[in-house]
Amino acid sequence: MERRKFLQILGKGFFVSSFSGVFPTAAFGKTAFDYALEGQNFLQNGAYHKAIEVLLKAVEMDSESDWAYGLLGRSYRALHKEAEAVDAFRKAVRLNPEDVYSRMMIEMITQKPVPRLQKETEPLTPLEIKARKEEADILASLESDEELTYKVKRVVIDAGHGGFDSGAVGRNGLKEKDVTLDLARMLHQKIENEGKIKPFLTRTDDYYVPLSDRTTIANQFQADLFISIHVNASKNRSAQGSETYYCSETASNREAARVASLENSVLKYDEPIKAKEGYIDIEEILFRFEQRLNWKESGVFASTFQKRIEEKLPLKSRGVNAANFFVLRRARMPSILLEIGFISNSDDEFRLGQRTFRQRIVDSVAWGL
């Protein structure tokens, strides 16, 4: 049985007598839900082999659980068993077509390498002829004296945190993950309605996406800009306002280092990719060169963007800062991280909980773009 249905039945107040009648296995031993929940705990603690073992039991007992198949896919992927992971994610999507995360994982894993170019002796296809013409036009423009301008046509919006990672929590219970998701959705809708920029989301619901996967999504969508939305928190309850960050090896000040450390703390849930000993990754060397250029462009964009949103943003401007944010490191385009308000401040928390206030924030960010 799916977790959603399970929780719905529990929510109706069934007692043990009626519960055992509906789920006879629960009265005598573990249910599929129990195994799936156990598998999720193993997954979060990095015990991937144990997670797979119990999750296989879960799907054997309940072959209709898209939740269990999704967890199984994540466990296989953590062990680099790509074929098994794709199979599990595909089963999850078949059971639940709205499972955006599993769809995304399938696309990421099944990406095929770029095919080799055909020999010159073979006739060119219409698409190749068009590509060559575009390449020639670009080269001609580079050789001309015309100024080249950078235009944002695609933007990936990242709602910080999600799922078991609630982010910062205010005194009155407002969770950062809920605020960022709502702001990201609203911003996506507004940009899409305006029709000038094509927006994409890294997550569309309350689930956890690893930090490294968030920029992978932006890279796959070939975005021109990546924006990660967060809400700040501080031991200083009087701290207020918003600020824009871009990625840098070193933090611009202690406060920036603290914010980056807070946002990077979720890295403990991500599985690091280990390179083989003695392996020289040429692509990585080239990427690092490109990375520095993108970070420089990010700094320029962040400064211009922050000045622009100050005109409309209903929060005090705390300026622009740089720090080593892992969620921005692997982006192949200019990228910024927005800290919108302080959830630790009672006034900011109250305002961030208001729909009308969130709309004003979204309008300001869209104006900044």
pLDDT in tens, 289-339: 566 677 788 888 888 888 888 888 888 888 888 888 878 877 888 888 999
Q: Is 167 left (phi over 0), alpha (psi -120 to 50) or beta?
A: left
Q: How far apart are CA 94 and CA 83, in angstroms?
A: 17
Answer for the pair 159, 229: CB distance below 8 angstroms, yes or no: yes
**Nearest alpha carbon to residue 35 among 2, 7, 68, 6:** 68
- Segments making up each domain of the chain, as ranges: 3-109, 154-270+287-368
DSSP label at residue 99: -
* Structure tokens given for 111: 């990406």
Q: Looking at the domain 154-270+287-368, which fold is it?
A: Aminopeptidase (3.40.630)
Residue found under tokens 């639940």: 96
* Beta strands 317-323; 242-247: pairing state: parallel
DSSP state of 199: E
Residue 187, burial from CB neighbour count under 10 angstroms (0-12, 13-18, 19+): buried
Q: How far apart are CA 304 and CA 167, in angstroms?
A: 28
Residue 274 has pLDDT above 60, yes or no: no
The C-alpha atoms of residue 99 and residue 97 are separated, in whole angstroms, by 5
Q: What is the mean pLDDT of the chain?
A: 80
198-201 and 225-232 as β-strands: parallel, antiparallel, unpaired?
A: unpaired
Does residue 262 carry a pLDDT above 50?
Answer: yes
Nearest to 365 by CA among 182, 229, 258: 229
Q: Pick the range with the lowest mean pLDDT from 15-24, 210-219, 271-280, 298-307.
A: 15-24
CA–CA separation, 84 and 81 (whole Å): 6
Within 13 Å of residue 20, how many CA atoms lie on the same side as its CB?
A: 5
- Strands (E) in the chain, as ranges, are 154-159, 198-201, 225-232, 242-247, 317-323, 335-342
User: How long a stretch of residues is the chain?
Assistant: 369
pTM: 0.56
pLDDT tens digits along 59-84? 999 999 998 999 999 999 899 888 89
The secondary structure of 282-308, three-state, reads: HHHHHHHHHHHHHHHHHHHHHHHHHHH
8 Å CB contact between 160 and 167? yes
Q: What is the mean pLDDT of residues 197-202?
A: 93
Residue 39, exposed/middle/buried by CB under 10 A (0-12, 13-18, 19+)? buried
Q: pLDDT (tens digit, 9 = 90+) per residue, 78-94?
A: 998 888 999 999 999 89
| Cα distance between residue 223 and residue 225, in whole Å | 5
Q: How far apart are CA 341 and CA 335, in angstroms?
A: 19
Domain 3-109 has CATH 1.25.40.10: yes
- Can you read off the two tokens belonging to residue 138? 């670009």
pLDDT, tens digit (0-9, with 9 covering 90-100), for 120-152:
556 778 877 887 787 777 666 655 544 445 577
How far is 158 from 218, CA to CA, in rounded Å? 9
Which two structure tokens, joined as six digits, stand for 228? 């990660």
